[in-house]
Amino acid sequence: GSDLYHIRPSDTKINTARGDAPFVDFDDFPKCNPVIPVSDGGPYSLKFYKDGYKSGSKTEYADKVEVDNHFKGDIARTVAYLYMHYKTNTNTPSDKKSLTGDLNLNDVIGYGNPEKPNDQTRAIEILKKWNKQDKPSDVEKHRNHVVQQIQGNRNPFVDCPELLDKMFE
């Protein structure tokens, strides 16, 4: 089965625009121009950058995306949960090895250094920053409770956001 913390409802237009592009803050990427906003007309929107995009051209997948500030903490806590469960070398008490292989944070949070592809330091800093900037909302806390009722476990980073910093010490 699937892990419900990895599955989120999504508008198809937004999901298609994102593809599997990594999350960023475009303020950190000034050369990414133009940045194109995509919205479902409701609370969910993102900005994306596509290398070579020209106004009016058809773009299927983004190269980088940025979610609204009030969802960045949600992203950070979800990524931390997935990293904890599906990454082999974390500072978690479990000595179990992941059955699904490594999760490289640079593939999810777009701050990797091409000269040092295994250095995830900057991606970890961004996760910590977003976690502090956007505290768990009532909706995120409720979702955590509902997922626990279905799948039997919680995302500890929603219950105790300070654990995210501890995991990456």
The predicted-structure confidence for 56-94, as pLDDT tens digits, reads as follows: 555 567 788 898 898 999 999 999 998 888 765 544 444
Q: What pLDDT was estimated at residue 92? A: 46
**Rounded Cα distance, 96 and 89, in Å:** 10
**Rounded Cα distance, 75 and 81, in Å:** 10
Residue 139's CB is within 10 A of a number of other CB atoms, namely: 10
What's the Rg (C-alpha) of the chain? 16
Question: Which pTM value belongs to this model?
Answer: 0.83
Place of tokens 């699937």: 2
